[in-house]
Amino acid sequence: MKTVAELNAARAAALKKIVLRKADEVIAKQVQSDYKYTVLVCGGTGCTSSHSTDIVEKLKEEIKAKGIEGDVQVIMTGCFGLCALGPIMIVYPEGCFYSMVEIGNIPRIVEEHLVGGEPVRELLYKETVAEDGSIKSLNETNFYKKQIRVALRNCGVINPEDIYEYIAVDGYQALAKVLTENTPDEVIKIVTDSGLRGRGGGGFPTGRKWALCAPNKAPQKYVVCNADEGDPGAFMDRSVLEGDPHCLIEAMAIAGYAIGATKGYVYVRAEYPIAVNRLAKAIEDARKAGILGKNIFGTGFDFDMDIRLGAGAFVCGEETALMTSIEGNRGEPRPRPPYPAVKGLFNSPTVENNVETFANIPQIILRGAEWFASMGTERSKGTKVFALGGKIEHTGLVEIPMGTTLNDIIYEIGGGIPGGKKFKAAQTGGPSGGCIPASLIDTEVDYDNLVSIGCMMGSGGLIVMDEDTCMVDMAKFFLEFTVDESCGKCTPCRVGTRRLLEMLEKITDGKGTLEDIDKLEELCNYIKANSLCGLGQTAPNPVLATLKFFRDEYIAHVVDKKCPAGVCKSLLSFTIDKDKCIGCGKCAKNCPNDAIVKTDYVAPGHKLPSYTIINDSCIKCGACMAGCKFGAISKK
C-alpha cells in the first residue's frame, strides 16, 4: 500500500501533466508557425491612451499588405514601465525597443525591419543603441538594470488575455504544488518565512494575517483583493491586473486553500476598464480550464471568485469600508476589533490583501521563502513596485529591492529632474504619507526607515518635486483630496480635516499667523489619535511632514507674506523691468484682466514705451510672464 507521501507525489506528477499540457500546445503551435518575429505592443492604460491600439491595427494592416502574416505575430501585452515613452513596441528576437511610436512610423518599421531585417535605429530608444550601432538589451538601460521584477515579472512579456501563455511561464504551477504537496499550515509557514509584508500601505506581515484567519471556524470564509488603488498618481495594481491577471487568480486560490476559504472577491475601481475586462476574461478562462470552481485539479478543493466594481471612493481602500461596499452598503469603515480575520466580509472570517501582495505569492511558493527573503532589508523583504510621477524624467513603473536608496530611484532609475532643476522632496504614500526632503535623499526606502522619518510606504506612489514646488501648497493639495474623500462617519476626520484645510488656505492666502502654525500641528495630532479608520488617522501626515522638514516655508508665508517657491497666488507680485521691456505689448494682449498698461518711459536702445503692471487689478495668472520672450517679467 502506498504511503500518503507517495500518493501525493503521484498526484503531483499527474497534475503537472494536466497543467502543462496546454502550455506544450502553445509552444508547439509557436514552433509550427515558425514566426520570424514577435512584436509586443504595450496595451496598458498609459500606452492605449497614446493610441497603441491604433499602432497594432496599422501593424497588422501593413504586415498583411506585405504578405508576411506567417512570419510575424503581434501581441498586445502589459506595461513595460517606461510610460513616458509610449506608445512602446518591442520586436524580438533582437529585442529592439521602439519608443514614442507614431502611426506614420509603422510602414517604415515593417518594410525595413520585419521585411528587410534591418532595425530602424533612429526610432529606437536611444539608450538601447550602442555607439557602434549594435542593439543593447532593455535590461542594460539605467531604468531597468537595478530592477528585479517579481510582481511585474510577466507584465510586458505575455499576452494577458491568453491563459495558456500564463501557463507556459509556470503559471498555476504554484497552485498545483500547494494542492498536492503542502498542507494549509505549511503554505502559511512558507509565506510567513518569506517575510512578505502587505504592499497596500500598512506593511502588516502577510503570513501572520493568514495565520490569524485560518483557525477561525465558519460555514464560509472569504479572500478579498483590494484593487481600489485610490492614491493620486498610483497605478501599480492596475498595471498588474492589465498585464498579468492570472497571477492574481492563482494567488487568491492559494490564499483560499491556506485559510479554508472557497470564495474570493476582487474589489476594483470602475475607472480601470482595461484591467476589469482582462480580469473578467481571465476568471472565465480559468473556470473553463478547471482552475476555478469545484474540485480543482481533482484535489477536492473548491474555490471561485467574482469582481465587484467600486465607484472611486478613496475610503474604500480601507479594508472594512471595502468589505462594507462589497456587501452592497455605503462604503464606511467599521470599528476594529473585531478584525476581518475574525469577522470580515458578510460577518465571516476574511483575508484581505492588495494586488501587489498577491502577485508575489506564486513566486514565493515556487522559488521558496529563502529566495524571497534574500532580497530587501532585515525587516522589509523582497521588492516593491513604485509608480514614479511628478518632476522626473522617466515617469513610469519600477520594481526594486527594498532598501534601494531614494537617490538611486530618482537619479539612477528615474533619470533625474527635468530642466536641470534641483530635487526638493519626494512624497511617498500619497495623501496618507509624507515627504522625504533632499537632505535625506540617501534614505534606504523600506517600511521602517520611512516611518522613522515621519513618512510611510503607502501603496507605492512616489511623486517627485523640484525647487519650484511650494510645500505648503502641496500639503494643501493632499488635504483638499482627503476632505473630498472623507466618508464623514467620524467627527475627527469629517470636521478636523476641513479645519486643517481652512488653516492651510488662510496661510497660503497670506492671512496666517505664527499661532496658526501651532494650532495646525496640534489639530493634526488630535486627528491622528482619534479618527476611526486609516484614512483619518493618516490624513494629517502630509502636513506634519512638511512642518517637520519645511517649517521655514510656513514661517515665510505668515511672517514675510511671501511664497518662496512663487506658487501661492495671493502672495505673488509680477513686475516688468522697464529697461528690458521692448514695448511689444504682447503681455498686455495676453492679460485677461487688462492689468497691464503702457508707460511713457522708453528704455535706452529701444524705440517703444515700456509697459507696467497694475497690481490691484492683477489676478496672478502668469499669462504675461509665460508670453514674454525677453525675460522682462518676473514674479516674487
User: Helix, strand or coil for residue 383?
Assistant: strand
- Inform me whether the pLDDT recorded for 31 exceeds 80: no
User: What was the pLDDT predicted at 173?
Assistant: 94
What DSSP state is assigned to residue 136? P
What are the extents of the domains in the chain? 35-140, 163-373, 383-560, 573-635
| CA-to-CA dists, residue 21 to 28, 170, 178, 283, 304, angstroms | 11, 12, 19, 19, 23
Q: Residue 314's pLDDT band (boundaries 50, 70, 90)?
A: confident
What DSSP state is assigned to residue 540? T
Please report which helix (H) or strand (E) contains residue 170, including its range: none
Judge contact between 301 and 176, C-beta under 8 A.
no
Q: Residue 365's pLDDT band (boundaries 50, 70, 90)?
A: very high
Judge contact between 623 and 592, C-beta under 8 A.
yes
Half-sphere exposure of 69 (CA within 13 A, CB side): 5
- Inform me whether the pLDDT recorded for 77 exceeds 90: yes
Judge contact between 422 and 155, C-beta under 8 A.
no
- Inform me whether the pLDDT recorded for 8 exceeds 50: no
Q: Does domain 383-560 have CATH number 3.40.640.10?
A: no
Distance CA 78, CA 98 (A): 15
Task: List, in order, residues 6 or more apart from 527 with CB less than 8 Å away.
Answer: 492, 493, 496, 497, 500, 536, 537, 539, 540
User: What was the pLDDT predicted at 33?
Assistant: 52
What are the cell numbers at 367? 522559488
Longest distance between any two alpha carbons in the chain, whole Å: 109
Judge contact between 438 and 464, C-beta under 8 A.
no
According to CATH, what is the number of the domain 163-373? 3.40.50.11540
What are the cell numbers at 512? 496666517
- Inform me whether the pLDDT recorded for 26 exceeds 70: no
Opening angle at CA 414, ends 413 and 417, nearest 5: 140
| CA-to-CA dists, residue 457 to 46, 384, 415, angstroms | 24, 10, 21
**b/e per residue, 193-231, with b = 16+ CB within 10 A?**
bbbbbbbbbebebbbebbbbbbebebeebbbbbbbbbbb
User: What was the pLDDT predicted at 250?
Assistant: 98
Mean pLDDT, residues 576-587: 93
Please report which helix (H) or strand (E) contains residue 225, including its range: strand 222-227
User: What was the pLDDT predicted at 28?
Assistant: 44
- Inform me whether the pLDDT recorded for 3 exceeds 60: no
pLDDT digits (tens, 9 = 90+) for 424-471: 999 998 888 889 999 999 999 999 999 898 888 888 889 999 999 999
What DSSP state is assigned to residue 134? P
Judge contact between 627 and 564, C-beta under 8 A.
no
Instruction: Classify burial at 509, counting beta carbons within 10 Å of its beta carbon; exposed 0-12, middle 13-18, buried 19 or more.
Output: middle
- Could you tell me which of 87, 364, 1, 357 has the C-alpha nearest to residue 204? 357
User: Helix, strand or coil for residue 308?
Assistant: strand
pLDDT digits (tens, 9 = 90+) for 189-243: 999 999 999 998 788 999 999 999 999 999 999 999 999 987 888 889 999 999 9
Opening angle at CA 292, ends 291 and 296, nearest 5: 60
Mean pLDDT, residues 48-53: 93
Judge contact between 292 and 303, C-beta under 8 A.
yes
Judge contact between 102 and 86, C-beta under 8 A.
no
- Range name among 22-36, 141-155, 198-212, 586-600 with the lowest pLDDT average: 22-36
Residue 448 backbone phi and psi in degrees, to 5:
-75, -35
Distance CA 26, CA 41 (A): 20
Instruction: Give the whole-number percent of the chain exceeding pLDDT 90.
Output: 80
User: What was the pLDDT predicted at 200?
Assistant: 85
- Classify domain 573-635 at the CATH topology level: Alpha-Beta Plaits (3.30.70)
Please state which CATH class domain 35-140 belongs to.
alpha beta
Judge contact between 299 and 179, C-beta under 8 A.
yes
- Range name among 4-18, 131-145, 270-284, 387-401 with the lowest pLDDT average: 4-18
What are the cell numbers at 474? 502641496
pLDDT digits (tens, 9 = 90+) for 475-500: 999 999 999 988 889 999 999 999 99
| CA-to-CA dists, residue 154 to 58, 79, 166, 567, 581, angstroms | 25, 9, 8, 42, 57
Q: What pTM did the predictor assign? A: 0.90
Mean pLDDT, rounded, of the chain: 91
Half-sphere exposure of 394 (CA within 13 A, CB side): 22
- Inform me whether the pLDDT recorded for 515 exceeds 50: yes
- Inform me whether the pLDDT recorded for 5 exceeds 60: no
